[in-house]
């Protein structure tokens, strides 16, 4: 670095009392850690004649030879300012908890400020710094370097032009590896507060804060007013206060949902990204390398963009009035996220059974089991880890629990957390055997709109109550349409009774409204779930539902099959199973998916070894689906692609619900521990009688 002034006298800045008219004079506060990157950038810009570094402040002086003799060194910003410097910009690369007070001091002294991310540690600090900037009439640039990328306006233009259709939502993902040493680098690392002062370190607020800030920018959320709500789901595998594995769900004032899934406990370090999900494709920005990947039905194309240095942008703003690329005000949305994390309950520790440690000593780092797939699932479902039922996540109690002799056999979910394009609706999950083996799944990665056991239809007079893409005859394929409805409960009655065997039993009766995208009711439903004990290892679940038009006109109940998709007649009752080993499906007519799918046999059985969930161990189990006598609805069965069983009420033609003449269906499921044989099943059905 070339010297521009003689060596200063002790305690005095070079050129003090004389304002340079050639180049801006800069002070750097914090020369270690990220401050070293600023020193390198300052050297580059000074070499180019853009600025002059005249002072640094740090309680630990920089190493010998780091600075030229012309650069004055102070122990802190207060000492620097007391020397009455003729500097124009202060760069703050200091611990998080010092950003706000140092920024206020620099602004009050008449300096423009470049502050590293996160700019503040609380909403109140944000307001303090904003007020100080207004009062002083000075500029504050925040060091979210990714916001200098030319990729951002290019993405905005592509989205506005309909390049990926309508926006379904956005996501930000980051999977990094951080060791014990990372959290030992300073006293504040891994802390939510230090000595009673907010720090709010964490995966979303510091390590991968660029992912959150960039995604908010792409979503059009810049200021505080642009954020409608922030939901947090925070966890940690490290022995820290702060979170290292978390999901954030942010809803903007414009109604867009942004799902951030972030971890410092991945099996490998991956480039973080921000994705815009559209009905016709996706745009993914790998912001650390300014690379954009656009994926549509036409294929994939990639483009790399340039980036404007934010310090250079600040210098241009001072000299020409150019707009700041990351003004403090435009980090209001990020601050809303930080404030939600600051005020959230402390991150929950991830149980050691779900974490492996790799490496030795301070180089050891945790790996959360299956975290990559869990993050993908959270993003696709726009759901938190807790909502997905991840074993190490906080337990969200169902709206109601169905029990037998005090044992929970099914959770009743009201569907209130389900994303809109998955057609929110009530369902049962988890459904368990009497020994606790879970035999349902919900929001799986392959079809996040599959929801346990319940009732769903893809085409109700053109409204999708199934979720996901809609199959139309005109398109001859699945397409995204703004046609998703939701099912809401309007009345509930619960009855506890005693079964014939003397075991406990129960009945849940509900009235439901099937509402279209505009909220207007399309169908009205009367639904009854009934459950009872059958044997020490078997219980029975029955469903009876009747669908009636909400108005005075008939309503068509259709499926992909009734719209032309060969053997795609799913709709009505559907049971999504979890993954299971040695899965076997059979009916009285034969074994295997090809024999069972589309058949109209009296019963269908599924057996296999199911995995564990939560505090329950998995085990072998059998599900026996029994139709009423005389039923002609074909079974819908999937084994290889995904595990699921349904009873189709619109296999290849729609059913019509007439006013005063509802479409009614019944089904019974026997849930058994162990593997039942055909003779066991026949005896069970004969013993229980006609399920209807």
Residue range 151-165: mean pLDDT, rounded = 98
Compute the residue count for the chain: 692
The answer to whether the CB of 470 falls within 8 A of the CB of 482 is no
Q: Which one of 387, 415, 449 terminates a domain? A: 387
470-523 pLDDT, tens digit per residue, is: 999 999 999 999 999 999 999 999 987 654 545 579 999 999 999 999 999 999
Q: Are residues 181 and 263 in the same domain?
A: yes
Rounded distance between C-alpha atoms, residue 272 and residue 155, angstroms? 17
The answer to whether the CB of 146 falls within 8 A of the CB of 172 is no
CB atoms within 10 A of CB 582: 9
Q: Which residues of 452-490 are buried (b: 16+ CB within 10 A; e: fewer)?
A: bbbbbbbbbbebbbbbbbbbbeeeeeeebbebbbbbbbe
In this structure, is residue 246 part of a structural domain?
yes
The C-alpha angle with vertex 163 and arms to 297 and 516, in degrees rounded to 5, equals 85
Sign (positive or negative) of CA dihedral 476, 466, 460, 565: positive
State pTM to two decimals.
0.93
Helix, strand, or coil (residue 32): coil
Q: 411 - beta bridge partners?
A: 401
Given this model, what pLDDT does residue 20 score?
A: 39
Rounded distance between C-alpha atoms, residue 215 and residue 260, angstroms? 8
Q: Are residues 355 and 491 in the same domain?
A: no
The answer to whether the CB of 688 falls within 8 A of the CB of 534 is yes
Q: Are residues 441 and 530 in the same domain?
A: yes
Kindly tell me if the per-residue pLDDT of 617 is higher than 90: no
Kindly tell me if the per-residue pLDDT of 213 is higher than 70: yes
Rounded distance between C-alpha atoms, residue 523 and residue 513, angstroms? 6
Residue 651 has φ and ψ, to the nearest 5°, of -60, -55
Rounded distance between C-alpha atoms, residue 135 and residue 319, angstroms? 20
Q: Are residues 534 and 575 in the same domain?
A: yes
Given this model, what pLDDT does residue 612 score?
A: 53
The answer to whether the CB of 623 falls within 8 A of the CB of 639 is no
Given this model, what pLDDT does residue 364 score?
A: 98
The alpha carbon of 179 is separated from its chain's Cα centroid by a whole number of angstroms, namely 24
**Closest CA relative to residue 468, chosen from 453, 486, 449:** 449
Q: Are residues 406 and 374 in the same domain?
A: no
Q: Which one of 387, 410, 443 terminates a domain? A: 387
The C-alpha angle with vertex 418 and arms to 417 and 424, in degrees rounded to 5, equals 120
Indicate the pLDDT class of residue 17, thresholds 50, 70 and 90: very low
Q: Is the peptide bond before 118 cis (omega within 30 degrees of 0)?
A: yes
Rounded distance between C-alpha atoms, residue 241 and residue 236, angstroms? 8
Indicate the pLDDT class of residue 614, thresholds 50, 70 and 90: very low
362-379 pLDDT, tens digit per residue, is: 999 999 999 999 999 999
Burial of 533 by CB count in 10 Å (0-12 exposed, 13-18 middle, 19+ buried)?
A: buried
Given this model, what pLDDT does residue 377 score?
A: 98
Residue range 407-429: mean pLDDT, rounded = 97
Q: Are residues 172 and 278 in the same domain?
A: yes
Structure tokens at 375: 């993050």
- The residue written with tokens 């904003």 in the block is 130
Kindly tell me if the per-residue pLDDT of 547 is higher than 70: yes
In this structure, is residue 8 part of a structural domain?
no
Sign (positive or negative) of CA dihedral 587, 589, 595, 599: negative
The CATH number covering residue 231 comes to: 3.30.360.10
Residue range 584-594: mean pLDDT, rounded = 96
Q: Are residues 408 and 275 in the same domain?
A: no
Rounded distance between C-alpha atoms, residue 328 and residue 306, angstroms? 23
Sign (positive or negative) of CA dihedral 318, 321, 322, 327: positive
In this structure, is residue 108 part of a structural domain?
no
- Domains held by the chain: number: 2
The answer to whether the CB of 432 falls within 8 A of the CB of 439 is yes
Helix (H) or strand (E) holding 343: helix 332-343
In this structure, is residue 23 part of a structural domain?
no
In this structure, is residue 403 part of a structural domain?
yes
Rounded distance between C-alpha atoms, residue 449 and residue 444, angstroms? 8
Q: What's the DSSP call for residue 205? A: I
**Closest CA relative to residue 561, chosen from 653, 435, 484:** 653
- Strand residues in 519-618 grouped as ranges (E): 521-535, 538-549, 555-558, 572-576, 580-587, 590-591, 603-610
In this structure, is residue 362 part of a structural domain?
yes
Rounded distance between C-alpha atoms, residue 260 and residue 172, angstroms? 5
Q: Which residues of 380-409 are buried (b: 16+ CB within 10 A; e: fewer)?
A: bbbbbbbbbbbbbbeeeebebebebeebeb
Give the residue numbers spanning the domain of 443: 397-688
Burial of 22 by CB count in 10 Å (0-12 exposed, 13-18 middle, 19+ buried)?
A: exposed
Q: Can you state the percent helix, strand and coil of the chain, rounding each to 5?
A: 20, 35, 40
Q: 528 - beta bridge partners?
A: 509, 544
Kindly tell me if the per-residue pLDDT of 118 is higher than 70: yes
Q: Which one of 335, 354, 387 terminates a domain? A: 387
291-336 pLDDT, tens digit per residue, is: 999 999 999 999 999 999 999 999 999 999 999 999 999 999 999 9
Q: What is the DSSP string of 400-437?
A: EEEEETTEEEEEEE--TTS-GGG----EEEEEB-TT--
In this structure, is residue 486 part of a structural domain?
yes
Indicate the pLDDT class of residue 6, thresholds 50, 70 and 90: very low
Residue range 340-352: mean pLDDT, rounded = 98
Q: Are residues 304 and 414 in the same domain?
A: no
Q: Are residues 358 and 481 in the same domain?
A: no
Q: Are residues 551 and 599 in the same domain?
A: yes
Average pLDDT, the chain: 94
Helix, strand, or coil (residue 267): coil
215-231 pLDDT, tens digit per residue, is: 999 999 999 999 999 99
In this structure, is residue 34 part of a structural domain?
no
- The long-range contacts involving 520-527, CB below 8 angstroms and separated by at least 24 positions, are 520/550, 521/550, 522/460, 522/461, 522/463, 522/485, 522/549, 522/550, 522/555, 523/460, 523/547, 523/548, 523/549, 523/550, 523/555, 523/657, 524/548, 524/549, 524/550, 525/455, 525/487, 526/662, 527/455
CA distances from 606 to 455, 638, 677, 678, 685 (A): 19, 11, 11, 11, 15
Instruction: Strand 400-404: give its sheet, edge to edge.
Output: 400-404, 407-413, 427-431, 453-456, 572-576, 644-648, 635-638
Q: Which residues of 72-93 are buried (b: 16+ CB within 10 A; e: fewer)?
A: bbbebbeebbebebebbbbbbb
CA distances from 172 to 248, 342, 506, 611 (A): 9, 20, 44, 30
Q: 304 - beta bridge partners?
A: 291
Given this model, what pLDDT does residue 554 score?
A: 98
Structure tokens at 440: 């349902």
Q: Are residues 188 and 315 in the same domain?
A: yes
Q: Are residues 409 and 360 in the same domain?
A: no
Kindly tell me if the per-residue pLDDT of 23 is higher than 80: yes
644-684 pLDDT, tens digit per residue, is: 999 999 999 999 999 999 999 999 999 999 999 999 999 99
Q: What is the DSSP string of 453-473?
A: EEEE-SEETTBBSS-S-EEET
Kindly tell me if the per-residue pLDDT of 13 is higher than 50: no
Residue range 557-579: mean pLDDT, rounded = 97
Residue range 137-156: mean pLDDT, rounded = 98
- The residue written with tokens 């999900």 in the block is 277
């Amino acid at each position: 670095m070339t010297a521009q002034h003689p060596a200063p006298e002790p305690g005095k800045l070079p050129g003090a009392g004389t304002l340079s008219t050639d180049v801006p004079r800069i002070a750097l506060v914090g020369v270690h850690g990220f401050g070293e990157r600023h020193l390198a950038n300052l050297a580059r810009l000074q070499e180019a004649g853009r600025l002059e570094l005249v002072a640094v402040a740090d309680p630990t002086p920089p190493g010998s030879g780091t600075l030229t003799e012309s650069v004055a060194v102070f122990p802190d910003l207060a000492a620097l300012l007391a020397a009455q410097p003729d500097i124009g910009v202060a760069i703050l690369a200091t611990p998080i908890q010092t950003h706000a007070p140092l920024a206020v001091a620099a602004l009050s002294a008449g300096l423009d400020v470049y502050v590293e991310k996160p700019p503040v540690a609380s909403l109140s600090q944000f307001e303090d710094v904003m007020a100080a900037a207004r009062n002083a009439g000075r500029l504050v640039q925040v060091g979210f370097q990714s916001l200098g990328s030319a990729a951002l306006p290019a993405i905005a233009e592509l989205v506005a032009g309909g390049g990926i259709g309508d926006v379904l939502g956005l996501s930000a993902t980051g999977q990094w590896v951080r060791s014990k040493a990372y959290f030992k680098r300073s006293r504040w690392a891994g802390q939510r507060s230090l000595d009673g002062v907010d720090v709010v370190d964490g995966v979303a607020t510091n390590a991968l804060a660029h992912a959150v800030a960039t995604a908010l920018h792409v979503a059009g959320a810049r200021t505080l007013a642009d954020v409608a709500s922030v939901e947090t789901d925070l966890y940690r595998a490290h022995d820290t206060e702060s979170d290292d594995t978390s999901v954030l769900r942010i809803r903007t004032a414009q109604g867009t949902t942004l799902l951030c899934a972030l971890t410092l406990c991945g099996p490998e370090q991956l480039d973080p990204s921000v994705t815009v999900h559209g009905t016709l494709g996706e745009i993914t920005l790998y912001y650390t390398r300014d690379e954009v990947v656009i994926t549509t039905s036409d294929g994939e194309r990639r483009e790399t963009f340039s980036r404007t240095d934010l310090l250079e942008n600040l210098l241009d703003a001072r000299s020409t009035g150019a707009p700041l690329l990351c003004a403090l005000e435009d980090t209001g949305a990020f601050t809303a996220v930080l404030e939600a994390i600051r005020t959230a309950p402390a991150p929950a520790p991830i149980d050691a059974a779900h974490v492996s440690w790799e490496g030795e000593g301070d180089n050891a780092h945790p790996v959360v089991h299956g975290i990559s797939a869990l993050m993908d699932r959270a993003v696709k479902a726009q759901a938190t880890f807790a909502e997905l039922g991840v074993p190490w996540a906080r337990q969200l109690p169902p709206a109601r629990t169905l029990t037998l002799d005090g044992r929970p056999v099914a959770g009743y979910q009201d569907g209130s957390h389900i994303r809109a394009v998955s057609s929110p609706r009530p369902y049962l999950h988890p459904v368990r055997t009497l020994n606790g083996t879970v035999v349902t799944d919900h929001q799986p990665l392959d079809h996040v709109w599959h929801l346990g056991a319940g009732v769903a239809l893809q085409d109700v007079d053109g409204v999708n109550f199934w979720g996901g893409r809609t199959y139309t005859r005109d398109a001859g394929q699945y397409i995204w349409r703004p046609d998703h409805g939701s099912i809401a409960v309007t009345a509930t009655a619960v009855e506890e009774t005693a079964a014939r065997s003397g075991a406990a039993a129960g009945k849940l009766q509900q009235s439901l409204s099937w509402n279209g995208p505009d909220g207007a009711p399309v169908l009205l439903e009367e639904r009854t779930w009934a459950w009872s004990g059958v044997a020490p290892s078997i219980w029975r679940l029955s469903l009876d539902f009747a669908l009636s038009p909400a108005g005075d006109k008939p309503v068509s109940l259709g499926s992909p099959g009734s719209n032309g998709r060969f053997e795609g007649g799913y709709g009505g009752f559907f049971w999504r199973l979890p993954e299971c080993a040695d899965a076997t499906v059979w009916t009285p007519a034969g074994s295997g998916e090809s024999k069972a799918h589309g058949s109209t046999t009296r019963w269908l059985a599924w057996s296999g070894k199911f995995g564990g969930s939560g505090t329950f161990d998995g085990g072998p189990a059998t599900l026996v689906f029994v139709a009423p006598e005389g039923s002609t609805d074909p079974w819908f069965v999937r084994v290889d692609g995904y595990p699921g069983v349904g009873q189709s009420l619109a296999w290849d033609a729609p059913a019509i619900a007439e006013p005063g003449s509802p479409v009614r269906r019944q089904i019974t499921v026997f849930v058994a521990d162990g593997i039942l044989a055909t003779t066991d099943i026949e005896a069970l059905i004969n013993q229980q009688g006609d399920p209807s």
